[in-house]
Amino acid sequence: MKIALSRVRVRAHYTNFSLFAFTTFTEIFVTSLYLVIYKGFSDTF
């Protein structure tokens, strides 16, 4: 029982970490994309 519980706990921790990594990556990606688009527009106009 203890092993199963710890396994679930590890899985939950891993899920939280992957979710955190995904959101962080998305934020960085969106920010860099926004900066590139913004610079492109300011150069064009």
* pTM exceeds 0.75: no
Structure confidence at residue 24 (pLDDT)? 95
What is the residue extent of each domain of the chain?
A: 1-45
Which residues are CB-contacts of 35 (< 8 A; sequence separation ≥ 6)? none
Maximum CA extent, the chain: 65
Q: Residue 30: its pLDDT value, please?
A: 97
Instruction: Give the per-residue pLDDT at 45.
Output: 67
List, run by run, the mean pLDDT of 10-residue segments along the chain (45 residues). 76 86 96 93 78
Write out the chain in H/E/C secondary structure: CHHHHHHHHHHHHHHHHHHHHHHHHHHHHHHHHHHHHHHHHHHHC
pLDDT for the residue 26: 97
